[in-house]
């Protein structure tokens, strides 16, 4: 801004007195006002200049950080380029080794679910002999891949009877995993003649049910007993001092409003009465069954010997 000059005083001038009055009353106050205005203007410009310097300093700091980030990105890009190059080289090596198609490591999944990519699958080649290539051909139809045990028998337990035992218990062997079961007797032997038939009771929640809930029918070497309702069911041939083998099938073990039952067949190699036994029956209890007991009712003419084995299998449910 422009500062108005203060005029000089001439002592010899006839207007000297009036000029002094103007000098002190007007010129000096005007000069003071203009000087103050100039000072204020200069202070504002100084503040603006200081802020501009601070802004330039911060901009320089940001620019330095961005330069560092750019350097890191460049390094990452270089590493990614190297990885891509390595993968390309590996694919080329695989292609050279296996026809024109790259081989996949069985350590990595090769398929993922379209809706949920956390569901993944892979093939394993661990069991293939070294230096051998196995071929697996796809059938010309749609369907679900089945495993060898999808509908197979699954061994649940196996025991050797205790010497001179009167009972063999599997009271909690059944579960919701299986509805039907197979009991396989791989040679059982008793202690005396004329022997006793092996009988069956079911358990509910681990407790043997000895109530009259077992209607059954049995056929011994062609001779039938007719339908019986008893506190147990006859399932196997008479247990003599001779070898016996057989099978018992248990059906619908988890049923609560449908019938549960069994069918059985067995053969005994006894000189007094060699032959076969076939039996079938039902369990009329309303609850699901948790297991079973095999027993000889009296133990006078027969006891289990510590020979052979009894195996329990579950029939895997069809998916």
On whether residue 289 sits in a domain, the answer given is: yes
Helix and strand numbers, DSSP H then E, in the chain: 2, 16
Task: Count up the domains in the chain and report the number.
Answer: 1
Distances (CA, A) of 8 to 14, 24, 226: 14, 12, 153
Residue 295's DSSP bridge partners are 167, 199
> Measured at the alpha carbon of residue 128, what is the angle toward residues 124 and 132, in degrees to the nearest 5?
125
On whether residue 304 sits in a domain, the answer given is: yes
**pLDDT (0 to 100) of residue 312:** 96
**Higher pLDDT pick, 218 / 151:** 218
On whether residue 187 sits in a domain, the answer given is: yes
**pLDDT (0 to 100) of residue 149:** 66
On whether residue 209 sits in a domain, the answer given is: yes
Q: Could you tell me the pLDDT band of residue 76, with boundaries at 50, 70 and 90?
A: confident
Candidate ranges 16-20, 105-109, 217-221, 266-270; pick with highest mean pLDDT: 105-109
Which range of residues forms the domain containing residue 220?
Answer: 153-316
Q: Could you tell me the pLDDT band of residue 294, with boundaries at 50, 70 and 90?
A: very high
The C-alpha atoms of residue 264 and residue 7 are separated, in whole angstroms, by 140
Residue 239 is part of a domain; what is its CATH number? Answer: 2.60.120
**pLDDT (0 to 100) of residue 102:** 53
- Asked whether residue 298 carries a pLDDT value surpassing 80, the answer given is no
Look over the chain and give the mean of its residue pLDDT values, rounded to a whole number: 81
On whether residue 35 sits in a domain, the answer given is: no
**pLDDT (0 to 100) of residue 95:** 56
**pLDDT (0 to 100) of residue 28:** 73
On whether residue 312 sits in a domain, the answer given is: yes
pLDDT tens for 209-240 read 999 999 998 876 555 566 778 888 888 877 77
Residue carrying structure tokens 């390094």: 75
Alpha helices in 98-155 (DSSP H): none
**pLDDT (0 to 100) of residue 46:** 72
Distances (CA, A) of 32 to 1, 3, 20, 65, 135: 14, 10, 17, 50, 105
Q: Average pLDDT in the 244-251 region?
A: 91
- Asked whether residue 179 carries a pLDDT value surpassing 60, the answer given is yes
CA neighbor of 202 nearest in space, from 291, 298, 111: 291
**pLDDT (0 to 100) of residue 48:** 77
Q: Average pLDDT in the 287-316 region?
A: 86
Main-chain phi, psi angles of 246, to 5 degrees? 175, -175
Q: Could you tell me the pLDDT band of residue 283, with boundaries at 50, 70 and 90?
A: very high
On whether residue 302 sits in a domain, the answer given is: yes
The C-alpha atoms of residue 295 and residue 299 are separated, in whole angstroms, by 9
On whether residue 285 sits in a domain, the answer given is: yes
**pLDDT (0 to 100) of residue 249:** 96
């Amino acid at each position: 801004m422009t500062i108005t000059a203060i005029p000089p005083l001439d002592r010899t001038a006839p207007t000297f007195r009036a000029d002094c009055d103007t000098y002190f009353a007007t010129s000096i106050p005007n000069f003071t006002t203009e000087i103050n205005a100039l000072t204020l203007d200069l202070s504002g410009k100084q503040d603006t200049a200081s802020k501009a310097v601070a802004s330039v300093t911060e901009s320089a700091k940001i620019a330095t950080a961005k330069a560092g980030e750019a350097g890191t990105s460049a390094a990452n890009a270089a590493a990614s380029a190297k990885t891509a190059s390595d993968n390309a080289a590996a694919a080329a090596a695989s292609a050279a080794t296996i026809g024109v198609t790259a081989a996949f490591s069985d350590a990595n999944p090769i398929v993922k679910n379209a809706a949920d990519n956390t569901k993944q699958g892979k093939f394993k080649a661990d069991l293939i002999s070294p230096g051998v290539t196995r071929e697996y051909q796809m059938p010309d139809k749609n369907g679900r891949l089945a495993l060898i045990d999808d509908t197979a028998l699954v061994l649940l337990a196996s025991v050797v009877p205790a010497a001179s035992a009167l009972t063999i218990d599997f009271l909690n062997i059944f579960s919701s995993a299986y509805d039907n079961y197979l009991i396989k007797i791989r040679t059982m032997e008793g202690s005396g003649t004329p022997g006793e038939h092996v009988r069956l009771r079911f358990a509910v929640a681990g407790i043997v049910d000895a109530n009259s809930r077992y209607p059954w029918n049995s056929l011994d070497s062609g001779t039938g007993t007719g339908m019986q309702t008893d506190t147990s069911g006859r399932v196997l041939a008479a247990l003599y001092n001779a070898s016996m083998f057989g099978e018992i099938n248990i059906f619908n073990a988890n049923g609560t409003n449908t019938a549960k039952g069994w069918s059985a067949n067995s053969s005994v190699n006894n000189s007094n009465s060699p032959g076969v036994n076939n039996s079938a029956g039902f369990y009329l209890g309303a609850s699901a069954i948790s297991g079973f007991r095999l027993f000889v009712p009296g133990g006078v003419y027969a006891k289990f010997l510590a020979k052979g084995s009894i195996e329990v299998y579950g029939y895997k449910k069809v998916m």
